[in-house]
Structure 1
Amino acid sequence: MAQEHREDAATSYGGLKVPIAFAKHDETAEAETVVHLEEWKRKAYEVLSRLREDLRARGPVDADAQAEIVYYLSPFAGDGPWVLERSRNVALDILNAYVISSTDLQEQVLRGFIKPIFQPNPHPSVNIETGRKLPRPAGGPLGHLDYMEGQEWKNHPEVSHVISWCLSHTDTRSVEKLWHLFVPPIMTMLDDYDAKYKLRGVQLVSQLLEVSPPDLLRRTGIDTLILSSLKTCLTFLQHRETPDLIRATVPTSVRLTELTTADGSETRFDQLCALLGDCILGNIWLYASRELDALQASVDAIPILVRTLGVGTSRYLKGLIPQLVFPLIPSPDNGASVEYKLSSLQALLAVVEVSAPRIPKWRGTILEAILKCWVDIPSNATAEETIQLKDHCRAVCAVLWTVCQSVAEAVHGDYERILSLNPKLFGPLLQLP
């Protein structure tokens, strides 16, 4: 009976096994391959449609069939390059109608389908039976090279989507039971040498943190392992995925620190300072200074980081303020897009708010940049972008006025002098109380 069941599954789901070619979909430029993959996507929709009709005729399905449905159809429930919108709709219909999510079902999917794929390449720092951090890396100093060999799991583009589905149907009560099945594959992707797999790893870590009790992260030692790996992610600066990797990694690092450290503790302060000072100012802004997309991505991450760090941000103002005001100042060397200017204004607003005691000495630098941005809106800005730029400039000026009350007379004089230059132009910007 088991053999018959496997044969039936192969017949039903064979057309839904995601081709290996999709693992390199972004790099492929051969017209023949592109045409082949597009044809496969159309055929996959037809297979999904037939499967839905077959299931309707069959009625309720047992646990084994539900596990197969999850493995083969959950990759179509997301946004993989193999997914057509109509395929997604059919896949979601089937998953919602025939799958009853439970811890046992997720364990069956992870143990029966995902674990065998990653088993040939165990992560050297993770106990694959418990999901705990090993006291020392397996295989010695060069053990990490062994798990980079072969990498059979890269022949399965769908695996991260299946893990993501299981995480989205897991809660804090059941995640510990599944810990040893989630952690090893996630850490394998997070620590891969390829930026696109690191990105998927970060995204899965973000999901894992949503359902992981802080005590579980600390008790298994996975908190320190993930934190170190996330820091490494921010050194991948010359890749197509770099901007997305930065935008995903910084908030995930902040969330991990919030979960595993006490509010106001030295440990939390040190981890956040390392993220801002070492990873962003000392690494991204130093070694990716010509990569505007990477710089903008790092600036996008500033607000969530500095608002968590709080007044401790003040120690980095010498590095933060000049970098944030530069995109706002028109010059031949400044190729900042409208989106980058908006990102800088949002980050500047957050920095000014949390660093109030040290901001008065920087008010001249900030005001100069805001004024130049206000009077020189890029010609390619849309009407909506123009409104956003002006609103953000006004917001920074309003907060600057508020936090500079310790030198109220001086800042009031600054604003009055600016207004006297052109009340009609600068009145809408400053809006003095």
Structure 2
Amino acid sequence: MEPESPREPPPQEGSCPPGERPPSALGQSLSQIVHRLTSQEPRRGKARSAALEDLSALIEATECDELLEGGGTWRRGMPEVLGQVARALEKYAAPPREQEGRRRADCEVAEKAAAVGLLFLKLLGRMEAAKSSLVGPTWTAGLRHSAAPIYVFALTHSLEHPWTSPRSREVAGEVLSVLLRVTPCASVAGFLHGEHEDEKGRFTAVMELLKRDLNKESWKNNPATKHVFSWSLQQVTRPWLSQHLETVLPPSLLISDDYQTENKILGVRCLHHIVLNVPAADLLQYNRAQVVYHALFNHLYTPEYNLIQAVLLCLLDLFPILEKALQWKGGAARPTTHCDEVLQLILTHMEPEHRLLLRRTYARTLPAFVKRLGILTVRHLKRLERIIIGYLEVYDGPEEEARLKILETLKLLMQYAWPRVPCRLVVLLKALLKLICDVARDPNLTPEPVKSALLEEATECLILLNHCSQGQVKDLLVKILQSCEDSKVVNCIRKVQQVSEGTSYNGT
């Protein structure tokens, strides 16, 4: 077995720079511990465990002023050494690359994280005690170098992941709470971007620490990196995020371009946060917005409904930025927009789609596209008509989400493109009446509240259709009213007639 000794010689980088006094005994001991924690030699597990024990004893036995100032002999280097210790501990507790047979490895990581978390609590306790001691402002230098790795450790292990356990999550959560108290910051967002707009936060330091694991070759080496990056990014909002755009945009694009759906969704959500929190001028500079658009557009060919949902929501917020540069001067036809391009592809996919989850996803965002295009929706009217009629015919499960959204789309379509509606009167009237009859005669598949919502939405569509056709719907419904015996159908028809005659009814 390999002998272990806390007295092995310190590494070369631990020696003092020219012109400085040599490191204290404490500095040498800490440098040795860093070397033992970061050594890549095989069979070093027990050596690292012993290093943790030595570090714990060292922190407990050292006074605050000596720990943070180096006992007056190496003041300039002591905060950097504490930063190296914090980085070594964070790396020691990091989960390994994804591989087979991870359960045992994950248990080991959780045990390491719990032990490292207790060490961080001791170190933060020393810093907190130093705030009111004779050390004065010197404690802030040590915190400045060690805050980022402590934060990365706490975030890696405080959320529920395969490599965490209840104990490791509890300890890591406590580390994060104490770190915010020592900083002091009221929230993680304040810790990252600063409590005030003119205050510099620690997001830059955190990204510097994550940068080594956020490139194309290494971002999967640590499965926690993407989650730490994504969660931290979500905390930085306007106006702070714009100054970090060059740092956060490349890794977001990188994660979204992965082959795994989980990573694609994570990356798209990062891009969406950037789109919402960075000024349009910054996104348009250097064609960044176009790069994001093409990265998102390529995902629309996937059959994964949850990815499609995330992409469409992001695109809807990106369209106003992309179209800022488009100016219609009148006289000529309006230029085709990115929204037109996306809607055309969506409608192409919607028409033959038979999978319910994808049908619901497409239908869920269709009203937003019609609102976005307004009168320009007439460019897609023929295909929209076919899709509306086809989707209204198909039962969509107990919640009927797809059919409700299609009825909402039809209402918007008639409001924006009403001059084109009369020539489609018969087709739309048949589809709406068929839907009303199917819902009214449905014995037990659909809950009563959903049935009521469907009948109400269909009735409002009939009222709009009647307005667009200058009262033709009311005349066509007279014969149906005379022969129909279903009370629910009759009630819908009477509402249409009452509104057309200027009489109000409940629900309008």
TM-score, normalization: structure 1?
A: 0.74
Question: Once the 2 structures are TM-superposed, how far is the Cα of residue 264 of structure 1 from its aligned partner?
Answer: 8.3
Higher relative contact order (CA 8 A, sep 6+): 1
Inter-partner Cα distance in structure 2 for 1:419 and 1:18: 70
Q: Which residue of 1 aligns with 2:318?
A: 256
Relative to structure 1, is the Cα distance of residues 307 and 11 closer, same or farther in structure 2, using a 3 angstrom cutoff?
Answer: same
RMSD between superposed Cα atoms in Å:
3.5
Match of 2:223, SS state, is coil
Relative to structure 1, is the Cα distance of residues 359 and 425 closer, same or farther in structure 2, using a 3 angstrom cutoff?
Answer: same
Within 5 Å, give how 1:136-215 maps onto structure 2: 151-215=217-281
Q: Which residue of 2 aligns with 1:20?
A: 97
Output the amino acid matched with 1:344: R
Question: Once the 2 structures are TM-superposed, how far is the Cα of residue 369 of structure 1 from its aligned partner?
Answer: 4.3
Relative to structure 1, is the Cα distance of residues 264 and 9 closer, same or farther in structure 2, using a 3 angstrom cutoff?
Answer: closer
Check conservation: 2:86, 2:149, Cα contact below 8 A: no
Q: Which residue of 2 aligns with 1:349?
A: 408
Question: Once the 2 structures are TM-superposed, how far is the Cα of residue 215 of structure 1 from its aligned partner?
Answer: 0.4
Inter-partner Cα distance in structure 2 for 1:79 and 1:354: 45
Question: Once the 2 structures are TM-superposed, how far is the Cα of residue 40 of structure 1 from its aligned partner?
Answer: 6.3
Inter-partner Cα distance in structure 1 for 2:214 and 2:248: 11
Question: Once the 2 structures are TM-superposed, how far is the Cα of residue 75 of structure 1 from its aligned partner?
Answer: 4.4
- The answer to whether structure 1 residue 424 and structure 2 residue 487 are counterparts is yes
Inter-partner Cα distance in structure 1 for 2:85 and 2:245: 31
Within 5 Å, give how 1:4-403 maps onto structure 2: 5-11=83-89, 14-15=92-93, 17-21=94-98, 33=102, 35-36=103-104, 39=107, 43=111, 46=114, 50=118, 53-54=121-122, 57-60=125-128, 62-75=143-156, 87=169, 90=173, 93-94=177-178, 96-97=180-181, 98=183, 100-102=191-193, 103-111=200-208, 113-119=209-215, 121=216, 151-237=217-303, 242-262=304-324, 265=327, 270-277=337-344, 279-282=345-348, 284-285=349-350, 289-329=353-393, 336-339=396-399, 341-356=400-415, 357=418, 358-360=420-422, 361-362=424-425, 363-377=428-442, 379-381=444-446, 383=447, 386-403=448-465
Relative to structure 1, is the Cα distance of residues 198 and 8 closer, same or farther in structure 2, using a 3 angstrom cutoff?
Answer: closer
Inter-partner Cα distance in structure 2 for 1:39 and 1:377: 53
Question: Once the 2 structures are TM-superposed, how far is the Cα of residue 59 of structure 1 from its aligned partner?
Answer: 4.5
Match of 1:367, SS state, is helix
Inter-partner Cα distance in structure 1 for 2:455 and 2:161: 38
Q: Deviations over 1:82-116 (max 9, x none)?
A: 677893892664565455233541111112x2222
List gaps (5 residues or longer) in structure 2. 1-77, 129-139, 186-190, 194-199, 329-333, 500-508
- The answer to whether structure 1 residue 413 and structure 2 residue 484 are counterparts is no
Inter-partner Cα distance in structure 2 for 1:51 and 1:107: 25
Inter-partner Cα distance in structure 1 for 2:121 and 2:325: 54
Question: Once the 2 structures are TM-superposed, how far is the Cα of residue 201 of structure 1 from its aligned partner?
Answer: 1.4
List gaps (5 residues or longer) in structure 1. 25-29, 122-150
Q: Which deviates further from its counterpart, 56-65 or 188-197? A: 56-65
Question: Once the 2 structures are TM-superposed, how far is the Cα of residue 364 of structure 1 from its aligned partner?
Answer: 1.7
Check conservation: 2:319, 2:339, Cα contact below 8 A: yes
Question: Once the 2 structures are TM-superposed, how far is the Cα of residue 229 of structure 1 from its aligned partner?
Answer: 1.0
Q: Deviations over 1:265-321 (max 9, x none)?
A: 5688511110101x2122x336x7243322321222212222212222233233223
Inter-partner Cα distance in structure 2 for 1:417 and 1:46: 77
TM-score, normalization: structure 2?
A: 0.64
Match of 2:373, SS state, is helix
Question: Once the 2 structures are TM-superposed, how far is the Cα of residue 426 of structure 1 from its aligned partner?
Answer: 1.6
Q: Deviations over 1:333-373 (max 9, x none)?
A: x6x3234x322322331342244313442532431342244
Inter-partner Cα distance in structure 2 for 1:84 and 1:352: 51
Output the amino acid matched with 1:114: L
Q: Which deviates further from its counterpart, 199-208 or 90-99? A: 90-99
Match of 1:152, SS state, is coil
Q: Which deviates further from its counterpart, 92-101 or 190-199? A: 92-101
Check conservation: 1:41, 1:82, Cα contact below 8 A: yes
Q: Deviations over 1:373-405 (max 9, x none)?
A: 412547444x4xx31342133123214413531
Question: Once the 2 structures are TM-superposed, how far is the Cα of residue 325 of structure 1 from its aligned partner?
Answer: 4.0
Relative to structure 1, is the Cα distance of residues 47 and 206 closer, same or farther in structure 2, using a 3 angstrom cutoff?
Answer: farther
Inter-partner Cα distance in structure 1 for 2:158 and 2:392: 41
Output the amino acid matched with 1:116: R
Q: Which deviates further from its counterpart, 421-430 or 299-308? A: 421-430
Inter-partner Cα distance in structure 1 for 2:452 and 2:325: 36
Check conservation: 1:9, 1:68, Cα contact below 8 A: yes
Inter-partner Cα distance in structure 1 for 2:148 and 2:293: 32
Question: Once the 2 structures are TM-superposed, how far is the Cα of residue 208 of structure 1 from its aligned partner?
Answer: 0.5
Q: Which deviates further from its counterpart, 86-95 or 98-107? A: 86-95
